[in-house]
């Protein structure tokens, strides 16, 4: 039996153990400048946690005129309208007339000036990146974005509000990535935040390359639609026509794959997936080809990367091109996406930001096992500017005809208030129609969102797993719509509060917790070692947890939080574990929860539909003596009674209290979820 990955990833996977900066000295780093191999005459070297490069040699190679001022012991670099003066015996530089301070003091070695590599990225604004394991350095010149869609907006007030929000959000939430916001073919925000590489202090900018994860599916979907339009395949074709050996290939259609309704097992949830190296797509499919279906094809939606790995194989077989070549010829080149490609492909340019995981503390990770094996499910890298180019190309008919786009964006499978189309999630809000897709790898997060009726685009790419891209996008849209996000509305990362280790005793124990994703039980062990409190989930890696006061704890390496509820004896009997927006609730082993018995006639009074917000209802149903809640566009959840009128949700940290009037009628309920509180009235 193949083993599935744990659903709660408390710690990072594939932490890289390679750090070339631990030893000072000469380092024969292969260099690549503007996607071409370059062998420097003067060898780079490592010193004080940085890589030092020969200033004149590299500066001239990337197009700067370099002059030495002997009297002032200074170096002048000029290129077009750029100018930089660097003093050899000082950290001070003058960049385009403004004074700045370098992190690393320049070094003179054999009458040559060497500078930390961050000078080329942070001050001369080139794109500096490293291959996995720091075996290669790449330096690329930023290319000007001169197309009409990159016209700078003249709305200074709005631009400043967006810029200020991202500044405070980055400070408070340790965001690292790039963000682009556009409206009506005008740029409102286009900048980088945090570090592309933390060790070397290299900052992200608007042309930093990131793995985009499942946004890759947009290109696969578009490719399949193109082939269908040419009459080379049909959406109703069986997968067995193109891929042999799949147990249920004669039941599953291309349409099922495109809409995640195939019922196949998700290969990327198997540990064996991450153990494969230099694999082929068929080797990935072999992991699941003989497994039974989870459900009958077309029966329901279940997001599944196996679907798009298979679609990539079909695209290659029908088109006669590799997926990498097809993307370049049909999408990347026509749309002007020169900084986009396939990870670990044959084409040059795969120089992406360093991937990280973490929360308060971050850790570099090795994303190669996923990016090499993801294929059509998630192996493309890009920039915020190129994803914006892609969205704009889809507005016209540069890459797809009008008829093809109608097929691409037509929603089919229901998915929590949205519909899944062909590689896109589509939906409507009060402002009209939008389409979007997010992506996540072991060390990257991404979101591309186009609001069609408002003609706005938001692209967020980050080199840290599980960055809150939807939270950022929602705040940016509030500002775009004329609203405000106050600084105090942006939460700060938690800080650990010192506790007397003796206080930890009240929390220790084994908690049996309900997993809301599959309704299975999980075990959470809380214990003390050497005066520190630790948590272990289902025999996963042990992580330390830290107090933030009021019986609340958090981990520093993952955005995960715990709240303990104490009984009258001062001992914890319940835990609420929150991660990725989901709540996992459970009780300590041996704790006997007081049973609340409610007569069925009373429960019948609670049945009905209650309006919580305009267009959003809470539907209460009764089955076999148990109340169930079905919110608009979501699944059905069991309600657990706390009292004769109050119930809690075990899958979400929320409760509702039915309001009984003097005559016994129930026409409203009080709903509470976190800080959100509201009375919902019966419809």
Model confidence over 232-245: pLDDT tens digits?
Answer: 999 999 999 999 99
Instruction: Judge whether 63 and 34 are in contact, CB under 8 Å.
Output: no
The label of the residue with tokens 């990337």 reads 62
Q: Is 62 left (phi over 0), alpha (psi -120 to 50) or beta?
A: alpha
Q: Say which residues have a Cβ less than 8 Å from residue 244's Cβ, sequence separation at least 6.
A: none
Q: Residue 219: which of 496, 422, 60, 365 has the closest Cα?
A: 422
pLDDT in the model for residue 4: 43
Instruction: Give alpha helix (H) positions in 291-393.
Output: 305-319, 323-327, 368-373, 384-393
What does the pLDDT read at residue 519?
Answer: 63
DSSP code for 347: S
Low pLDDT (below 70) residues in the chain: 1-29, 132-133, 516-519, 651
Q: What are the structure tokens assigned to 437, written together?
A: 């897709």
Give CA–CA dist 534/543, Å, rounded. Answer: 6
User: Can you say how many angstroms the Cα of residue 108 is from the centroid of all Cα atoms in its chain?
Assistant: 42
pLDDT attached to residue 17: 37
What rounded mean pLDDT belongs to the chain?
Answer: 90
Within 10 Å of residue 134's Cβ, how many Cβ atoms? 20
Asked if 336 and 389 touch (Cβ cutoff 8 Å), the reply is yes
pLDDT at 6: 42
For residues 293 and 256, what is the distance between their CA atoms, to the nearest angstrom?
A: 13
Residues 582, 306: Cα–Cα separation, whole Å: 24
- Write b or e for each residue in 195-227: b if 16 or more Cβ atoms lie within 10 A of its Cβ, otherwise e: bbbbbbbbbbbbbbbbbbbbbbbbbbbbbbbbb
Asked if 178 and 383 count as a contact pair (C-beta separation under 8 A), the reply is: yes
CA distance 169 to 392: 27
176: exposed, middle or buried (Cβ count in 10 Å: 0-12, 13-18, 19+): buried
pLDDT at position 654 is: 85
**Structure tokens belonging to residue 680:** 């919902």
Cβ distance 138 to 130 under 8 Å?
Answer: yes
- 10 Å CB burial of residue 251 (0-12, 13-18, 19+) is middle
- Which position has the token pair 């700045």? 100
Q: Write out the DSSP string of 461-473.
A: EESBTT--HHHHH
What angle is formed at CA 502 by the lines to CA 496 and CA 503, rounded to 5 degrees?
A: 55
Q: How far apart are CA 54 and CA 43, in angstroms?
A: 8
Determine contact, residues 34/141, Cβ cutoff 8 Å. yes
Largest Cα separation within the chain, whole Å, is 95
DSSP 505: G
Exposed e or buried b per residue across 521-553, where buried means at least 16 C-beta atoms within 10 angstroms of its C-beta:
ebebbbeeeeeebbbbbbeeeebebbbeeebeb
**Would you call 464 helix, strand, or coil by DSSP?**
strand
Helix or strand (DSSP H, E) at 223: helix 216-229
Contact yes or no for 566/572 (Cβ under 8 A): yes
Taking a C-beta distance cutoff of 8 angstroms, is the pair 259, 418 a contact?
A: no
Coil vs helix vs strand at 95? strand
pTM (two decimals): 0.85
CA separation for the pair 44, 27 (Å, rounded): 6
CA distance 35 to 229: 35
Cα–Cα dist 37/54, whole Å: 16
β-strands 380-382, 341-342: how paired?
antiparallel
The 10s digit of each residue's pLDDT in 242-281 is 999 999 999 999 999 999 999 999 999 888 888 888 789 9
> Tokens for 580?
């990725």
CA distance 521 to 593: 17
**Start-to-end CA span in the chain (Å):** 50
Query: CA 444 to CA 210: how far, in whole Å?
Result: 7
Helices vs. strands in the chain: H and E counts, helices first: 14, 47
Domains and CATH numbers, the chain: 20-140 (3.30.457.10), 210-420 (3.40.710.10), 501-588 (2.40.128.50), 600-682 (2.40.128.50)
Residue 594, class by beta-carbon neighbours within 10 Å (0-12 exposed, 13-18 middle, 19+ buried)?
Answer: exposed
Calculate what percentage of the chain has a pLDDT beyond 70: 95
Burial 15-43 (b: 16+ CB within 10 A, else e): ebeeeeeeeeeebebebbbbeeebebeee
Structure tokens that stand for 559 in this block: 């955005």
- Could you tell me what percentage of the chain is helix, strand and coil, using 3-state DSSP and rounding each to the nearest 5? 25, 35, 45
pLDDT at position 3, please? 44
């Amino acid at each position: 039996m193949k083993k599935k990955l744990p659903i709660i990833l408390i710690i990072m996977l594939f932490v890289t153990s390679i750090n070339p900066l631990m030893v000072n000295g000469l380092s024969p780093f292969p260099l690549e400048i503007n996607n071409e191999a370059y062998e420097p005459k003067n060898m780079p070297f490592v010193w004080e946690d940085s890589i030092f490069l020969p200033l004149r040699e590299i500066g001239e190679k990337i197009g700067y005129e370099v002059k030495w001022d002997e009297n002032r012991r200074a170096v002048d670099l000029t290129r077009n309208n750029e100018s930089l003066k660097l003093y050899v015996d000082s950290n001070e530089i003058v960049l385009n007339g403004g004074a700045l301070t370098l992190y690393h003091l320049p070094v003179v070695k054999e009458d040559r000036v060497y500078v930390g590599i961050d000078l080329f990225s942070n001050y001369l604004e080139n794109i500096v990146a490293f291959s996995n394991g720091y075996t290669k350095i790449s330096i690329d010149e930023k290319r000007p974005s001169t197309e009409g869609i990159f016209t700078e907006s003249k709305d200074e007030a709005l631009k400043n509000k967006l810029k200020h929000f991202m500044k405070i959000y980055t400070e408070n939430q340790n965001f690292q990535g790039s963000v682009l916001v556009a409206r009506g073919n005008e740029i409102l925000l286009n900048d980088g935040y945090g570090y592309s590489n933390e060790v070397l202090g290299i900052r992200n900018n608007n042309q930093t390359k990131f793995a985009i994860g499942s946004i890759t599916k947009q290109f696969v979907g578009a490719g399949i639609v193109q082939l269908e339009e040419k009459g080379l395949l049909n959406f109703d074709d069986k997968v067995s026509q193109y891929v042999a050996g799949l147990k249920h290939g004669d039941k599953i259609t291309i349409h099922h794959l495109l809409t995640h309704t195939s019922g196949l097992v998700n290969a990327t949830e198997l540990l064996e997936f991450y153990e494969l190296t230099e694999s082929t797509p068929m080797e990935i499919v072999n992991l699941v080809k003989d497994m039974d279906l989870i459900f009958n094809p077309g029966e329901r939606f279940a997001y599944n990367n196996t679907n798009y790995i298979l679609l990539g194989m079909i695209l290659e077989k029908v088109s006669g091109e590799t997926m990498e070549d097809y993307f370049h010829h049909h999408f990347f080149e026509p749309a002007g996406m020169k900084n986009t490609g396939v990870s670990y492909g044959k084409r040059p340019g795969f120089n992406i930001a360093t991937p990280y995981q973490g929360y308060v503390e971050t850790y570099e990770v090795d994303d190669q096992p996923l990016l090499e094996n993801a294929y059509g499910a998630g192996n493309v890298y890009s920039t915020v500017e190129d994803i914006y180019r892609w969205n704009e190309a889809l507005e016209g008919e540069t890459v797809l005809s009008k008829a093809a786009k109608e097929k691409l964006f037509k929603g089919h499978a229901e998915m929590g208030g949205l519909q899944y189309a062909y590689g896109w999630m589509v939906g409507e809000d009060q402002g009209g129609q939008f389409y979007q897709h997010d992506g996540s790898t072991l060390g990257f997060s991404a979101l591309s969102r186009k609001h069609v009726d408002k003609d706005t685009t938001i692209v967020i790419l980050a080199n840290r797993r599980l960055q809150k891209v939807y939270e950022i996008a929602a705040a940016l849209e509030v500002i775009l719509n004329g609203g405000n996000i106050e600084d105090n509305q942006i939460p700060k990362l938690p800080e650990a509060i010192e506790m007397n280790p003796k206080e930890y005793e009240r929390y220790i124990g084994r908690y049996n917790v309900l997993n809301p994703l599959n309704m299975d039980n999980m075990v959470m062990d809380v214990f003390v070692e050497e005066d520190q409190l630790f948590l272990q989930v289902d025999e996963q890696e042990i992580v330390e947890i830290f107090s933030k006061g009021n019986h609340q704890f958090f981990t520093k390496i993952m955005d995960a939080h715990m709240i303990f509820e104490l009984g009258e004896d001062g001992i914890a009997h319940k835990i609420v574990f929150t991660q990725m927006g989901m709540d996992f609730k459970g009780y300590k082993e041996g704790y006997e929860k007081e049973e609340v018995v409610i007569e069925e006639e009373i429960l019948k009074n609670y049945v009905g539909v209650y309006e919580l917000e305009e267009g959003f209802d809470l539907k209460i149903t009764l089955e076999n003596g148990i109340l169930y809640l079905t919110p608009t566009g979501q699944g059905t959840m069991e309600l657990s009674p706390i009292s004769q009128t109050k119930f809690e949700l075990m899958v979400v940290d929320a409760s509702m209290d039915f309001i009984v009037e003097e005559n016994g009628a129930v026409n409203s309920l009080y709903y509470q979820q976190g800080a959100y509180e509201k009375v919902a009235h019966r419809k």
